[in-house]
Amino acid sequence: MLDKKSAVAYCLTYREVYEDEPFGDPNWTVIRHKENRKVFAWIFEREGHTWVNVKVDPEWREVRRNAYASVLPAYHMNKEHWSSVILDGTVPEKEIRRMIEESYDLTKPKKKRKEKN
């Protein structure tokens, strides 16, 4: 996964999501949950690479940022809760997919009490 098209295509494999261009700028694509409209992936081009901003679990935030030079505090977002992943080939695809999945899970709609039982 090195380009915007493949990142968007992968994110769209998740259940009940859709693609959106919130700024009317085709450089910025977000993938949202249908039910709550929350974004779990911000996908854009910057500095010659595709970047994906993902919501992060605080337990893993620093581990990943320290392990990979291409995982940074999120560009233009809350740096405590979001990270940018630069798709430059240095972060293993399995790890990129894991971070996107984590972001999806952290932003998905909460189950209502009746659904929990």
Q: Is 53 left (phi over 0), alpha (psi -120 to 50) or beta?
A: beta
With H, G, I as helix, E, B as strand and everything else as coil, classify residue 73.
Answer: strand
Evaluate if residue 13 carries a pLDDT over 90.
yes
Give me 86's structure tokens.
Answer: 């630069």
Q: How far is Cα 108 from Cα 117, in angstroms, rounded to an integer?
A: 19
Please give the pLDDT value at position 27: 93
Give me 62's structure tokens.
Answer: 């620093």
Nearest residue to 49 via CA among 78, 7, 102:
7
> For 23-80, what is each residue's pLDDT tens digit?
889 999 999 999 999 999 999 999 999 999 999 998 889 999 999 999 999 998 999 9
Please give the pLDDT value at position 38: 97
Average pLDDT of the chain, as a whole number: 93
With H, G, I as helix, E, B as strand and everything else as coil, classify residue 62.
Answer: helix
Q: What is the CATH number of domain 4-108?
A: 3.90.1150.30
pTM attached to this predicted model: 0.91
Rounded to an integer, the average pLDDT of 98-116 is 86
The residues spanned by each domain of the chain are 4-108
Please give the pLDDT value at position 116: 53
With H, G, I as helix, E, B as strand and everything else as coil, classify residue 82.
Answer: strand
Evaluate if residue 83 carries a pLDDT over 90.
yes
Evaluate if residue 117 carries a pLDDT over 60.
no
Percent of the chain past pLDDT 90, that is, above it, reads 84
